[in-house]
Amino acid sequence: MRPLSDTLMRMTAFREAGAMIGSRAGSERLTELDGFGRNPGALDALAYVPENLARRAPLVVVLHGCTQSAAEYDLGSGWSELAEAAGFALLFPEQARANNLNLCFNWFEPGETRRGRGEAASIRQMIEAMIVAHDLDRRRVFVTGLSAGGAMANVLLASYPEVFAGGAVIAGLPFGAAASVPQAFDAMRGHGLAGDTALSNAIRKASPHKGPWPSVSVWHGGADHTVSPTNGEAVLAQWRGVHGLAADPSHVETDAGHTRRIWRDARGRAVLEHNLVAGMGHGVPLKPDGAAGGGVSGAYMLDVGLASTRAIAAGWGLIEAAPVAERLAEAPGPSRRPAPPRPKPLAPRPRPSEP
């Protein structure tokens, strides 16, 4: 096991960064969700339901990172702005300080991450409450999160794969990478991660589900010194094995330091992608300005000219797809480069008939 001193120093920096985030106004769009179930993980819940919500609308579950609140994460990422424009519902599970002093979801605690237990079960209950209350589409439930929230998003995809059509893991970790705080710190630095087969088997053993599996989008900064990019590759390998995909991607596109690799299944459906942003640290890639952007830059909300929230939503078919390098198409002057072809969205997995 590696020494913890450097990671503990980073956790102190997390708290200081959290204070900076907390000094900003959070999103005022969210409302509390009460009475959603037994709540074994003792989590809080907030939601956003736009006035133009259609019958059988999609639901996106959004998980904040350490030191953040749901409202702060929404403000930074721009999810509720997008939901208002496109007409889908949002659920924001929120950690309580009594559960974790740094407000991290406990993605590394077996009692919080297993099917039917702890925080994972609480979030599943929230999802069910939202679906019933707002007549949402069970076939179009998605989950995304940053860092500890990204790791918990992967926990939900593994523990309840039948619930989700797709997920996006941002600066997160593979399911089953740790079972204690020391192991979690080690895994964050990319040490002690299991091999590809063991990673995939962890998902297969997490539920009785045998497929079809959710599509997964992985995002990571190439200069992330908080959660090593090795973890993004491990998440990718974990789901590549579950989907039975080849090691080599079906398609690769690179633009302005952003490399996107896409894997397609035997039917030609894009079911897995990996996005690596060169030079980016730990956080959500944003493009706050312009019609194709959104969100507010700040701690862990990084203006790198890449609107990941929009790209993720487009990949799920919630909004019209836009080129990842939209900023190049918007550049003024005769030297403006043409926009690349629009990437096809990640295909939601086929669903069995509703019970």
Catalytic site positions: 147
Closest residue by Cα to residue 134 from 26, 29, 60: 60
The conformation of residue 237, written as its DSSP 8-state character, comes to: H
Q: Are 295 and 309 in contact (CB under 8 A)?
A: yes
What gap in Å lies between CA 31 and CA 57, rounded to an integer? 18
Give the angle 185-186-192 at the CA atoms, nearest 5°. 150
DSSP secondary structure string for all residues of 281-348: -SSEEEB-SSTT-BS--BTTEEESS--HHHHHHHHTTSS----TTHHHHT--STTPPPPPPPPPPPPP
Residue pair 261/218 in contact (Cβ under 8 Å)? The answer is no
Give the span between the Cα atoms of 126 and 37, in whole angstroms. 7
CA dihedral 136, 141, 146, 147 (to 10 degrees): 130
Q: How many CB atoms lie within 10 A of CB 195?
A: 11
- Reduced DSSP (H G I as helix, E B as strand, rest coil) percent helix, strand, coil of the chain, to 5: 30, 20, 50
Residue keyed to tokens 């259609």: 54
272 φ, ψ (degrees, to nearest 5):
-150, 140
**Separation of first and last alpha carbons in the chain:** 47
> CB-hemisphere CA count at 13 Å for 2?
17
